[in-house]
Amino acid sequence: MAGDVILKIDGKSTENMRLSEAIELIQGDPGQKIVLRVRHEDAAEEDLPIVRAEIKVPSVLGDLRKPGNLKEWDFLYDKENKIAYLRLVEFSETSTDEMRAALKELKKEGARGLVLDLRGNPGGLLRSAKEISNLFLDEGKIVSTRGREGDEEVMTADPRETVFGPESGLQLAVLINRYSASASEIVSACLQDHKRAVVVGERSYGKGSVQNVIPMEKGQSALKLTTASYWRPSGRNIDRAPDAKETDEWGVKPDKDFEVPLTLEQRVEFVRWRNERDVVRDSSKHPKKDAVPEKDPKKDKDKEKKPYVDEVLNKAVEHLRRQIKKAGLEVPLHQQGRA
């Protein structure tokens, strides 16, 4: 659990042990057993038998986990208005399948709005960016790459891969910040150019270059060579040149009236809040009888602070609520009563 201190690894004390040595002792082949002696935050000690396994880290997360099953995320953020929240932390090999599965689940639950959070997402696979964009589009250009010789490769949407196309009525908002890069910019730019989503937050990083890694010296070194650049469906550039100015065309900017500028302190506070929110805690597992908690000046001071408010997410959700309400006023013809 969060706050646990590992005291022993298979009976070997971790006192004065280097981190690299501890990692080497803990890791091993899947199926092997190991016992960790840990001390919990309440000072209780316990031996934890663990079976080694391959850890698969998901790339699609929510805001909070399901109360009855902490291994799964509750993607429905606003149940009254049926607004979902999906946080994509990277564009990996499994991202498209994870995203498609989450969207199909939300479709069954009758989702009417969706916030796609790409804040802090550094990018990943170009293929995943194309496929995830395609989940919300059934036609049109997604992204194009232009090489040094002027050759262009265009990636377009395939209607067979769409889950929530424009005709679905799903209202969509994408969150970005200055650390959203590469594949994140491809998705947000694509959905913005097709007017499929409103983009909320800060201007993105501006990494629109295609790079190939060439191994050298029998794998002892490598050469990273920029071979092409990414371009938005509108034909605008994504990549930010080293001497680029704020007034130049690069990256992805939030839509008009949807920019939420943050200070450095606010960015740091957001990361800390988000990380703490993701931690699974079980304070009731090891209660200490008749224990009197010691005074902690730092914790007392933290309690005085106002709860963190995610202004970027709130702005997106409020927009979706308005759009859903607006759409709800227009009753489809097949639902109208006959005179």
> In this structure, are strands 221-231 and 209-216 parallel, antiparallel, or unpaired?
antiparallel
Q: Is residue 281 part of a domain?
A: no
Taking all residues of the chain, what is their mean pLDDT, rounded to a whole number? 89
- Residue 71 and residue 89 in one domain: yes
Residue 86 has pLDDT above 80, yes or no: yes
pLDDT in tens, 1-39: 767 899 999 999 999 999 999 999 999 999 999 999 999
- Residue 196 and residue 75 in one domain: yes
Which one is predicted more confidently, 67 or 119? 119
Of the listed ranges 64-73, 106-115, 116-125, 291-300, the least confidently predicted one is 291-300
Catalytic residue selected from 63, 117, 138, 193: 193
CA-CA distances (angstroms) from residue 159 to 163, 166, 235? Answer: 9, 11, 22
**116 burial type by CB count under 10 A (0-12 exposed, 13-18 middle, 19+ buried):** buried
- Residue 32 and residue 87 in one domain: no
Residue 282 has pLDDT above 60, yes or no: yes
Q: Is residue 316 part of a domain?
A: yes
- Residue 22 and residue 71 in one domain: no
Catalytic residue selected from 95, 128, 180, 182: 182
- Residue 208 and residue 251 in one domain: yes
Residue 298 has pLDDT above 80, yes or no: no
Q: Is residue 224 part of a domain?
A: yes
Of the listed ranges 57-61, 200-204, 220-224, 316-320, the least confidently predicted one is 220-224
What percent of the chain stands above pLDDT 70?
89
Domain span holding position 213: 60-264+312-323
- Residue 120 and residue 155 in one domain: yes
Long-range contacts of 285-289 (CB under 8 A, 24+ apart): 285/1, 285/40, 286/40, 286/42, 286/44, 286/46, 287/42, 288/42, 288/43, 288/44
> In this structure, are strands 152-156 and 141-147 parallel, antiparallel, or unpaired?
antiparallel
Q: Is residue 144 part of a domain?
A: yes
**pLDDT given at position 337:** 38
Q: Is residue 292 part of a domain?
A: no
The vertex-45 CA angle with 42 and 50, nearest 5°, equals: 120
User: Please, which pLDDT band fits residue 51 given cuts at 50, 70 and 90?
Assistant: very high
Q: Is residue 273 part of a domain?
A: no
Q: Is residue 289 part of a domain?
A: no
Between CA 183 and CA 99 the distance in angstroms is: 15
Active site residue 207: yes
- Nearest partner of 129 among 146, 117, 142, 119, judged by Cα: 142
Residue 296 has pLDDT above 80, yes or no: no
Return the top range by mean pLDDT from 40-44, 256-260, 325-329.
Answer: 256-260
Domain count, the chain: 2
- Residue 66 and residue 46 in one domain: no
Residue 167 has pLDDT above 90, yes or no: yes
- Residue 40 and residue 68 in one domain: no
Query: What pTM value is reported for the model?
Result: 0.80
- Residue 232 and residue 202 in one domain: yes
- Residue 41 and residue 64 in one domain: no
**pLDDT given at position 332:** 45
Q: Kindly give, in sequence order, each residue whose CB lies less than 8 Å from that of residue 223, ignoring residues fewer than 6 positions away.
A: 213, 214, 216
Between CA 295 and CA 289 the distance in angstroms is: 18
The vertex-19 CA angle with 51 and 121, nearest 5°, equals: 80
- Residue 149 and residue 192 in one domain: yes
Q: Is residue 42 part of a domain?
A: yes
CATH of the domain at 222: 3.90.226.10
Catalytic residue selected from 82, 141, 207, 315: 207
* Cα 72–chain centre separation: 15
Between CA 301 and CA 130 the distance in angstroms is: 46
User: Please, which pLDDT band fits residue 215 given cuts at 50, 70 and 90?
Assistant: confident
Between CA 114 and CA 77 the distance in angstroms is: 9
**320 burial type by CB count under 10 A (0-12 exposed, 13-18 middle, 19+ buried):** buried
User: Please, which pLDDT band fits residue 104 given cuts at 50, 70 and 90?
Assistant: very high
- Residue 41 and residue 75 in one domain: no
Residue 295 has pLDDT above 70, yes or no: no
